[in-house]
Chains A and B, each alone.
Chain A
Amino acid sequence: MRLNSFKYLVKQGFKGIWFNRVNSFASLCVITISLLMVGISVLLSFNITKMIGAIESRNEVIVVIEDGAPENNVAMLGEELAGNSNVFEVNFYSKDQAWVDMQADMSEDEKALFQYMSRNPLPDCYRIRVKEIGELSKTVSWIQGLEFVDQVQAPNDFANILIGIRNVCTILFSAITLSLIIVCFVIISNSTRASVYARRREINIMRYVGASKSFIEIPFFVEGMVIGIVSAAIAFGLTWFAYTEVFKMFSTDVNMLSIFGLSALIPFEEIALGTGIAYAVFGVLLSGVGTVISTRKHLNV
């Protein structure tokens, strides 16, 4: 194809957007919203995964050993714990060490209160870390069943909440993506049909003078691609703004910091390029492929 013809077709694509501006705008809005929702779902999913990872790395399960358990049994318990596939670190924390640490944290008044105690009231325990927080409750149940274990203290509830959120996000993300893709295709199909109708006279003449199929289809494809790229750019801008605001909120809120720590949210700069590329590819694919399919459906060349 000659460069001149290519320029002509691109120009026709832009003209098509303008002549069909109401439908083009509708397509643009729907694709932007779709990209935005899918993008936010993905970013949310990434961040929740990261938060869970951060909590996983700081989580600690305390296995309290029965008072009076024989030393060799305590050692065997340690070996049993270390042998579990979900346990990656096991540390013995003796009652004496616990007593020393506790006293170190006490004020003078508190120390005075405890100096009359003849016996260390604290138990021996194991401090363990798990690999996969999703398996935490299963691991805790297993530990509770072991001999000489008095009780197990684990951040079960919080982990369950996070896992629940992650699962809901995954389901929501999939459902939103699927339904938005369908909605996008319907809107693009309608928009293309309107565009074909608006240009039916030209298309008819093009057919009679011997324009090739691709020559007739290319302006519609250009139209779809442009709408896809513009939608991606708008969605990217909105995501940038919204994400930065949420990030600021997380970085300045003390409660959030105490729960998730400083590194819980991924800074936008780290994911900007990937997000931009994903938006552009998804936008162009959604709009371009949608346009090609609907052009072939509505344009009986």
Chain B
Amino acid sequence: MVEFRNVSYTYPTGQQALNRVNLKIDDNEFAFVVGANGAGKSTLIKLILRELTATEGEVIVNGFNLNHMKQRRVPKLRRTIGVVFQDFRLIPNMTVYDNVAFALRVIDAPIKYIRTRVPYVINLVGLETKAKSYPNDLSGGEQQRVALARALVNDPQLIIADEPTGNVDPARSFEIVDLLKAINACGTTVLMVTHQHDLVRYFGGRIININTGAVVFDEVIGGADEAQ
């Protein structure tokens, strides 16, 4: 669950990125966050990940109140969140398996768990035949699936997908969102930031539009896929 209560954020330069944002994304929800460049989407994500602390208001994520959180507890918060980036952020000298396992290794997960969990998640994103491949040998869509597997492997409560289809061709973009929808159907909250309005129109659901630091639209719309 993500909750913003009257949240404002002003950068040290004086630029106000968010202004009194009120937002609640419940468990198991799927929400698209849309908005122009500089609207405040990235700041919103940084606040959820506790890279930034709200200058005003309260941010609550997965039961953690981020305003009163000590720095040493931030890793605990982040273990409940999976993040997918537009540029995949895979480690090129690691295989698909190792890239996914890396997320578990660095949180001191038991080796037995890694050995069972990683193949399961790789299988879930449909890359079982590519486990030994390196990221550079994969297409953009496949790389994004690896990134998704890495985000999923910790079994997070929330997945934040920051422009996950930005570097993927249109056909594969729909597959990625399909995958995120499937993950959401299994009980994980998904927050997807995107510029691609065709995707939003196609899939529908809850749309949060941010403009100049404020939520200007927050409603559920019907998607084209439901109409079909």
Q: Which residues of A contact B (CB under 8 A)?
A: 1-2, 4-5, 8, 201-202, 204-213, 215-216
Contact = CB atoms under 8 A, between A and B. Distances in A.
Interface residues of B, number: 23
B77 interface: yes
B83 to A, nearest CB: 5
Interface in B6-50: 49
B103 A205 contact: yes
Given A209-B154, A210-B78, A210-B79, A1 B108 contact: yes
A204 B89 contact: yes
A207 B78 contact: yes
A295 to B, nearest CB: 16
B75 A205 contact: no
A209 B49 contact: no
B150 interface: yes
A106 to B, nearest CB: 88
B91 A211 contact: no
17 contacts: A2-B110, A4-B111, A5-B105, A8-B105, A201-B91, A202-B91, A202-B102, A205-B91, A209-B82, A209-B83, A209-B107, A210-B76, A210-B77, A210-B106, A211-B106, A213-B75, A215-B108
B68 interface: no
Chain B CB count within 10 A is highest, among A202, A208, A213, for A208
Contact of B154 (A4, A205, A206, A210): A210
A208 B83 contact: yes
B107 A211 contact: yes
A202 to B, nearest CB: 6
Contacts, number: 58
A210 to B, nearest CB: 4
A207 B105 CA distance: 13
Nearest to B99: A205
A209 B79 contact: yes
Nearest to B160: A208
Given A1-B108, A2-B108, A2-B110, A210 B75 contact: yes
Contacts of A8: 105
Interface string B54-98: 000000000000000000100111111111000001010000000
Contacts of A202: 91, 102
Nearest to B147: A205
A16 B80 CA distance: 29
Contacts of B89: 201, 204-205
Given A202-B91, A205-B106, 6 more contacts: A2-B111, A209-B78, A210-B78, A210-B81, A210-B107, A211-B75
A8 B109 CA distance: 12
Identify the 7 closest CB pairs spanning chains A and B, nearest first. A210-B79, A210-B78, A211-B106, A209-B103, A210-B75, A5-B108, A206-B106
A208 B76 CA distance: 11
A205 B77 contact: no
Contacts of B78: 207-210
A201, A202, A205, A210: most-surrounded residue (chain B CB, <10 A)? A210
Nearest to B74: A210
Contacts of A213: 72, 75
A56 to B, nearest CB: 59
A205 B91 CA distance: 9
Chain A CB within 10 Å — which of B76, B77, B106, B150 has the most?
A: B106
Contacts of B107: 209-212, 215
A114 B213 CA distance: 117
B42 to A, nearest CB: 14
Contacts of A212: 72, 75, 107-108
